[in-house]
Structure 1
Amino acid sequence: MSKNVLNFIQENRTNHLNELIEFLRIPSISALSDHKGDVRKAAEWTVESLKEAGLTSVELMETPGHPVVYGEWSSAKNTHTILIYGHYDVQPVDPVELWDSPPFEPVIHDEKLYARGASDDKGQTFMHIKAVQALLKANGELPFNVKFLIEGEEEIGSPSLDSFVEENKERLAADVLLISDTPMLGKGRPAVCTGLRGMCSLQVDLKGAKGDLHSGLYGGAVQNSVHALVQLLGTLRDENGRIQVKGFYDNIIEPTEEEREVYRELGDYEAELKGELAVQELFGEEGYSAREQTWIRPTLEINGIYGGFQGEGVKTVIPSEAHAKITCRLVPGQDPVEITQLIEKHLDAHTPPGVTLTTTPFDKGMPFLAPTDHPAFKTATDAYEAAYGEPALFTRMGGSIPVVETFDQVLKMPILLMGFGLPSENFHAPNEHFHLENYDKGLETLINFWETLSFDQ
Structure 2
Amino acid sequence: MTRAKAIAHAHDYFDTGRFRDDLSRLVAMPTESQNPDRAPVLGEYLETEMRPLLEGLGFTCRTLTHAKARGPFLYAERIEDPALPTIFGYGHGDVIRGLDAQWSEGLSPWTLTERGDRWYGRGVVDNKGQHVININGLKAVLETRGKLGFNAKYLIEMGEESGSPGLRELCQDHKELFAADVLIASDGPRLNAERPTIFLGSRGGVTFDLSINARDGGHHSGNWGGILSDPAIQLAHAIASIVSPTGQIRIHEWVPTELPAAVREALADCEIDGGPDGPTIDPDWGEPGLSPAEQVFGWCSFDVLAMKSGVPETPVNAVPPSAWARCQLRYVVGIDPNEVLPSLRRHLARQGFPMVDVRLSRDEIFHATRLDPEDRWVKWALASIASTTGKKPALLPNLGGSLPNDIFSDILGLRTIWVPHSYPGCSQHAPDEHLPVAIAREGLGMMAGLYWDLGESGRPAV
TM-score w.r.t. structure 1 length?
A: 0.88
Q: Residue 397 of structure 2 aligns with which residue? A: 396
Q: Residue 183 of structure 1 aligns with which residue? A: 189
Task: Measure the CA separation in 2 of the matches of 1:155 and 1:264.
Answer: 32
Alignment partner of 1:97 out of 99, 102, 113: 102
Alignment partner of 2:33 out of 25, 30, 35: 30
Q: Aligned letter for 2:63?
A: L
Q: Does the residue aligned with 2:136 lie in a helix, a strand or coil? A: helix
Alignment partner of 1:65 out of 32, 46, 69: 69
Deviation at 1:137, TM superposition (A): 4.3
Deviation at 1:282, TM superposition (A): 5.1
Q: How does 1:319-358 map to 2 (within 5 A)?
A: 319-347=320-348, 350=351, 352=353, 357-358=357-358
Partners of 1:184 and 1:421 within 8 A in 2: yes
Q: Does the residue aligned with 1:231 lie in a helix, a strand or coil? A: helix
Task: Measure the CA separation in 1 of the matches of 2:53 and 2:175.
Answer: 21
Partners of 2:10 and 2:448 within 8 A in 1: no
Q: Residue 243 of structure 1 aligns with which residue? A: 249
Q: Residue 412 of structure 1 aligns with which residue? A: 413
Deviation at 1:262, TM superposition (A): 5.0
Q: Aligned letter for 1:359?
A: R
Q: Residue 85 of structure 1 aligns with which residue? A: 90
Q: Residue 383 of structure 1 aligns with which residue? A: 384
Alignment partner of 2:288 out of 278, 286, 289: 286
Alignment partner of 1:129 out of 127, 135, 146: 135
Partners of 1:62 and 1:68 within 8 A in 2: yes
Q: Does the residue aligned with 2:200 lie in a helix, a strand or coil? A: strand
Q: Residue 302 of structure 2 aligns with which residue? A: 300
Deviation at 1:410, TM superposition (A): 2.2
CA deviation map 1:236-264 (0-9, x unaligned): 11123221225323x545311x6425534
CA deviation map 1:83-134 (0-9, x unaligned): 1012222233559525452223221111211122221222111111222233
Task: Measure the CA separation in 2 of the matches of 1:415 and 1:279.
Answer: 29
Alignment partner of 1:260 out of 260, 264, 271: 264
Partners of 2:267 and 2:395 within 8 A in 1: no
CA deviation map 1:246-292 (0-9, x unaligned): 5323x545311x6425534446x58x889831467652221111111
Task: Measure the CA separation in 2 of the matches of 1:287 and 1:95.
Answer: 42
Q: Aligned letter for 1:254?
A: L
Segments of structure 2 that go 5 or more residues without pairing to the other structure are none
Deviation at 1:402, TM superposition (A): 3.5
Deviation at 1:441, TM superposition (A): 1.2
Alignment partner of 2:219 out of 210, 213, 218: 213
Is the deviation greater in 91-100 or in 438-447? 91-100
Task: Measure the CA separation in 2 of the matches of 1:34 and 1:346.
Answer: 43
Q: Does the residue aligned with 1:210 lie in a helix, a strand or coil? A: coil
Is it true that 1:152 corresponds to 2:153 in the alignment?
Answer: no
Q: Does the residue aligned with 1:234 lie in a helix, a strand or coil? A: helix
Task: Measure the CA separation in 1 of the matches of 2:401 and 2:9.
Answer: 36
Distance 1:275 1:291, change over 3 A: farther
Distance 1:110 1:52, change over 3 A: farther
Q: Does the residue aligned with 2:443 lie in a helix, a strand or coil? A: helix
Partners of 1:329 and 1:398 within 8 A in 2: no
Q: Aligned letter for 1:289?
A: S
Task: Measure the CA separation in 2 of the matches of 1:261 and 1:51.
Answer: 39
Supply the RMSD in Å over aligned alpha carbons: 2.9
Deviation at 1:321, TM superposition (A): 2.7
Distance 1:130 1:412, change over 3 A: same
Task: Measure the CA separation in 1 of the matches of 2:399 and 2:416.
Answer: 17
Partners of 2:89 and 2:184 within 8 A in 1: yes
Alignment partner of 2:115 out of 109, 119, 131: 109
Is the deviation greater in 438-447 or in 222-231? 222-231
Task: Measure the CA separation in 2 of the matches of 1:24 and 1:318.
Answer: 48
Partners of 2:74 and 2:155 within 8 A in 1: yes
Q: Does the residue aligned with 1:247 lie in a helix, a strand or coil? A: helix
Q: Does the residue aligned with 1:233 lie in a helix, a strand or coil? A: helix
Task: Measure the CA separation in 1 of the matches of 2:360 and 2:33.
Answer: 20
Q: Aligned letter for 1:17?
A: R
Distance 1:201 1:351, change over 3 A: farther
Is it true that 1:318 corresponds to 2:319 in the alignment?
Answer: yes
Partners of 2:201 and 2:405 within 8 A in 1: no
Matched-pair identity in %: 24
Partners of 1:193 and 1:418 within 8 A in 2: yes
Distance 1:292 1:139, change over 3 A: same
Is it true that 1:17 corresponds to 2:20 in the alignment?
Answer: yes
Q: Aligned letter for 1:20?
A: L
Is it true that 1:431 corresponds to 2:432 in the alignment?
Answer: yes
Q: Residue 228 of structure 1 aligns with which residue? A: 234
Task: Measure the CA separation in 2 of the matches of 1:351 and 1:44.
Answer: 56
Deviation at 1:164, TM superposition (A): 1.1
Is the deviation greater in 8-17 or in 331-340? 8-17
Distance 1:424 1:273, change over 3 A: closer
Partners of 1:180 and 1:420 within 8 A in 2: yes
